[in-house]
Structure 1
């Protein structure tokens, strides 16, 4: 090596030594290392730390060998301002040759290099020594940083979730949900045990929850090999899947309990609404029974369906709901109250359907009466109220509709005949040799009626007779 090459090599090795020392000091003070030193480890973490735990002392030992070799090289260089060939040869051996003596087998995996048999001591170059320190540093840093990442991510979150779980358990007790009596309480107890087991595992075996990222190893083409130590970072993620499942399960339980709380606050009003629906159903059924009696008395030859009785079984279930409400058994009241609301709505619909079915004949009679009055007004507008046939058909239909009992079929036929007598038909067009007479209409039965030449002075729509026996 030339003098300039020696000086550049010494400067580079000095910078690498400072970088290595800073990295070792940071690793010495790493919070993850301190926690690993004092924790009772199990599982994968204990296995990995049994190797990596001795790495820091090995690193300091190798660093001392590195510093001693660099100091020896600097001493040789300082003998002369312009070293001779002997000094340059010695410096070349110290800086590039196998000039450093270290303990044999000091590798992270405990094996020999390149399949060579293990030796008590071995001589390696400064570059090999730095590479060996990098390997130990990566091994220690991976365990320390991974454990610290897991401990930083999970224990505090588990503690917060346990506190929330305790609050939810108190909420469950306030609505009568107790272990052994309701599945929600059993779910909460199972969650509490799972979270406690998770916390124990996180503290004792954090690496069981670490998922390292699988990335290709990077090699620095330029620059000192110690860059791996100064920029050493561990990539990976903390496996929180089990914790996340517990959080979602707790959220589901909390939502159900909040529903029970709303039920507790709304139960009185909802029970009152059910009672109101049943009261309206009873009133509708009473109206249906009254209508049925009226139909039987006023409509002839009609089969009237029977009116069902009140829903006594539904009222018994309302009594059970009130008992559950007073006992604070909200988780049992909820399904019962939902069923009661549905049954009460169906009961009201059944009562309304019964009323509609029973009162159908009365509705038909009312519709026929309305049609009769409408065609009576039409006859008055057409000024045919004095026509004997029109009067006869009107009186017949009126007598049938206002008599009791009323024959609906005969009344419907009578109204249809009166309609035929009143409904106007356009005049026939005049044919060859036939003069169309003024005011000729068809009464609906094939006979022609001559419009009266004398104006009727009676009020429009007035017919004689037609007494009402129905009222």
Structure 2
């Protein structure tokens, strides 16, 4: 190469080597790499880190070879103010030829040029960095969270035991035991084989592009939260059992009284009303009363885990039974309301007929409707028809008025 090209080439190679050294030093001091160096790894992470660690050592070896070669080129260049043919030939070989000897496991030593060395160093650096960044991402995202969740799980399990929530008797206790086993496995994976939880982004060449698979942790977290709510329900039962049982007892008593009232009312309606469908009164609180007695037994025996779901269901069913009883009472007394409405409408149209002067003409219709409405049993269908007929009669003008209008028309 030409003499004037030597110094710029030396400067450029020195800059490239300095950049490589800076990157390698940063990788050496990376917290993730430091943790990897002393960690007890397993599985794929152990295999990949051992390969990456060996590759990192080779990168440093290549860098030292390159730095030594560059220093040799500087020495040759500075030996004479104007390099002679021998120096020029050596400089050309050192700066542009395949002058760098590199080794890889299972292969013979290989001589390559500067550009090839830089390309291999860049590729190797990216491989090592990918492992370091991926492991660091997993270790930053999961182990501490798993430990916190395990601590929360232990706290909840202790609460569960204090109120009798134990395995085999309450599903929440079984859930907690299962989640504890899952978290133990997840913790071992996250600390020992973190790459098993790393999901790289396909097609990306940038190291560290990917995400941590937290799906197992997320499921465990939701399960712990669900179990916590169930156990808090049990604790609430422990605290409020007597008050809630008393409330259910009161609601069932009101439902029973309402059903009895509906049955009595139905008998009265059947005696007073005809021509109308009166639905039967169905329903009974006897089964719920038996379950309420069982709930009281659980409370006396302090079986809170069994009482909690039973009491919650009783509260819901009791309110439903009271609502149905009220609907039944409304349904069976509806004919009486219809009769009262027809009576009121009949009297209202009688007053209107009197104002219009049609009282005498429509009186027989009124009497027929009134007799039907005040008879026992009252045929509501017939009464409804008679009231409607009387209503229409009150809206027609009196006969005298119609004759006058007719006469006036003929005179005209």
Question: Normalized against structure 1, the TM-score is what?
Answer: 0.67
Greater helix share, structure number: 2
1:234–1:292 CA distance, 2 compared to 1 (3 A): closer
Shift of 1:75: 1.0
Are 1:202 and 2:190 counterparts?
yes
For residues 218-238 of structure 1, give each alpha carbon's deviation from its aligned partner in whole angstroms, at most 9, with x where no partner exists. xxxxxxxxxxxxxx8443322
Counterpart contact for 2:262–2:328, Cα < 8 Å: no
Aligned to 2:291: 317
For residues 236-256 of structure 1, give each alpha carbon's deviation from its aligned partner in whole angstroms, at most 9, with x where no partner exists. 322222222322333343444
Unaligned residue ranges in structure 2 (runs of 5+)? none
**Any idea what SS the aligned residue of 1:53 has?**
helix
Aligned to 1:337: 315
**Any idea what SS the aligned residue of 1:178 has?**
coil
1:170–1:334 CA distance, 2 compared to 1 (3 A): farther
Instruction: Provide the aligned C-alpha RMSD in A.
Output: 4.6
Unaligned residue ranges in structure 1 (runs of 5+)? 113-117, 218-231, 436-471
1:345–1:325 CA distance, 2 compared to 1 (3 A): farther
Shift of 1:145: 2.6
Question: Normalized against structure 2, the TM-score is what?
Answer: 0.75
CA distance in 1, matches of 2:197, 2:262: 72
1:15–1:308 CA distance, 2 compared to 1 (3 A): closer
Shift of 1:10: 1.1
Aligned to 2:64: 64
1:65–1:345 CA distance, 2 compared to 1 (3 A): same
The one of 145, 149, 167 equivalent to 1:157 is 145
Task: State the structure with more CA Rg.
Answer: 1
Counterpart contact for 1:176–1:330, Cα < 8 Å: no
1:349–1:66 CA distance, 2 compared to 1 (3 A): same
Aligned to 2:98: 98
Q: Structure 1 residues 47-56 or 127-136, which shifts more?
A: 127-136
Counterpart contact for 1:317–1:340, Cα < 8 Å: no
**Any idea what SS the aligned residue of 1:211 has?**
strand
For residues 324-378 of structure 1, give each alpha carbon's deviation from its aligned partner in whole angstroms, at most 9, with x where no partner exists. 4553221332223322322233234334545x27xx57984x6787678668867
Shift of 1:265: 6.3
1:319–1:17 CA distance, 2 compared to 1 (3 A): same
Aligned to 1:425: 398
CA distance in 2, matches of 1:332, 1:205: 45
**Any idea what SS the aligned residue of 2:399 has?**
coil
Aligned to 2:133: 145
After TM superposition, list the pairs within 5 Å mapping 1:367-446 onto structure 2. Answer: 406=376, 408=378, 425-427=398-400, 428-430=402-404
Are 1:253 and 2:227 counterparts?
yes
